[in-house]
Structure 1
């Protein structure tokens, strides 16, 4: 079977890391080795798949359905492996191999085409928030995960470099919010890092389980902030989008016992960072939507 990377993956890596071409070129052979090593039977490559990895649906020799996930180093797959091992299947997809070739993860099979996003908006937000709460645990004492301060520090530098006259006021507000938030951070937890509705899939042993973390250690409001802007296109299209966004911040903060102002601040930072980055790589429309959303905060 040919293991050609889906177009979505090729495009995303081309935008974010043009130097990843070497990984893409080696990917078909790496996938064949990973399948053969486990004696697996391939069912299909997941399409459209993710923006940072190749996902292959397989069956193991004992007929157990599983997923082989291959990701480049820049996607931090070993950090994902460590986080999944620490969660041990609580709230997240289960890791089926504690160790393996670098960049290759063997995971339990969920229902890859059924995410919590398929539910009505209010129900999907409730289920997503409940899943996220289960992931917020004490990090291992000897962890090597990136911290929120470290990750947002890199992002802040890129935001300053990518700001133009139009986005400069929002960038300055986002950077100021970050400084204030980091100066008084609450206790740190292990966070998913890139949590949103599409990262929550239907499962057998649990109705909903999180997948695809880019784990980070820090305060819970940082993790919840990305969920606030889910379905941003619908929010922007709605005449009451700004009011709905403010209500969403309040409801999510209250339901997960997170400080509302801290959630608002991290939502602002993450929306502006994503908007500036989207514009930088040529996704102008996405960038404009995110910056408009940020202006409501």
Structure 2
């Protein structure tokens, strides 16, 4: 079978690929080796799939359905493996093999086309929040996960560079960076976080109704993880005449439901929205940038 990467994956990785990176070029060969090594039967490549990995629906030699996931080193698949192993299937998709000679992930099969995002908005937020709560556990001793301070520090440097080159975004960037500094000055208890949590990252399963997939794990305060969920369906929020008020109510409701400080959630939501908006603008995704920066202005 030809392992042709979906267009969304090609586009997304093309935006961030360092010079000389040939991971996409070698992907069909890499996928073929991973399948042969595990004696898997391929059903199909998941389309449109993710933005940082190739997801292949497969069956193991005993006929058990599974998923084979391949991601470039810059997507930190080793970190994802470590987080999934630590969660042990509690709230997240389960690893089906403990070691990996080639860096690929063999995972339990969920329902790839049925995410929490398919539910009505209020129900989707409720189910997503419940899933997220199960993931917030104490990180393993001596862990090697990236921290919120470290990750946002890298992002802050890129945001400053963008603001210097683009005066239009400078005021929002300054506000977001100031919020980050204040939040990091006195952080609450640190937990292992999903890192990129949103409704589309929660899929229907057999073992549990809903399970999280695709973490980019990070250790830090829970408000950072919840912040990405606040802006889910941002295009719908922007289209509403009462979008700003709805957003503020969502911050309050999510903070209360998960025992997170409301102002800290608002601050991280602002920082993450501005960071995503500035990054989208930097790579030419103007429509996404416009939505995200308008949303950030409401906070």
TM-score normalised by the chain length of structure 2:
0.98
Q: Per-residue displacement from partner, 1:110-141 (whole Å, max 9, x unpaired)?
A: 00000000000000000000000000000001
CA contact (8 A) 1:235 1:241 kept: yes
Pairs within 5 Å for 1:1-297 = 1-19=1-19, 21-163=21-163, 164-297=166-299
CA contact (8 A) 2:34 2:102 kept: no
1:274 Cα deviation from its structure 2 partner: 0.2
Within 2, Cα distance between the matches of 1:228 and 1:221? 10
Within 2, Cα distance between the matches of 1:40 and 1:190? 32
CA contact (8 A) 1:13 1:20 kept: no
Within 1, Cα distance between the matches of 2:38 and 2:291? 44
Q: Secondary structure at the match of 2:43?
A: strand
1:187 Cα deviation from its structure 2 partner: 0.6
1:19 Cα deviation from its structure 2 partner: 3.5
Within 1, Cα distance between the matches of 2:17 and 2:264? 31
Within 1, Cα distance between the matches of 2:213 and 2:198? 10
Q: Secondary structure at the match of 2:146?
A: coil
CA contact (8 A) 1:72 1:103 kept: no
Q: Per-residue displacement from partner, 1:91-121 (whole Å, max 9, x unpaired)?
A: 0000011111343000000000000000000
Within 1, Cα distance between the matches of 2:184 and 2:282? 26
CA contact (8 A) 2:145 2:218 kept: yes
Once superposed, what is the RMSD of the aligned Cα atoms?
0.8
1:25 Cα deviation from its structure 2 partner: 1.1
CA contact (8 A) 1:178 1:265 kept: yes
1:165 Cα deviation from its structure 2 partner: 1.4
CA contact (8 A) 1:14 1:20 kept: no
Within 2, Cα distance between the matches of 1:245 and 1:207? 27
Q: Secondary structure at the match of 1:127?
A: helix
1:17 Cα deviation from its structure 2 partner: 1.5
Q: Per-residue displacement from partner, 1:198-228 (whole Å, max 9, x unpaired)?
A: 0000000100000000000000000000000
Within 2, Cα distance between the matches of 1:104 and 1:199? 19
Structure 2: where are the runs of 5+ without partners?
Answer: none
Q: Secondary structure at the match of 1:43?
A: strand
Within 1, Cα distance between the matches of 2:19 and 2:46? 24
Q: Per-residue displacement from partner, 1:239-258 (whole Å, max 9, x unpaired)?
A: 00000000000000000000
1:68 Cα deviation from its structure 2 partner: 0.3
Structure 1: where are the runs of 5+ without partners?
Answer: none
Instruction: Decide whether aligned partners of structure 1 residues 46 and 20 sit closer, same or farther in structure 2, where only a CA change above 3 A counts.
Output: farther
CA contact (8 A) 1:78 1:102 kept: no
CA contact (8 A) 2:237 2:247 kept: yes
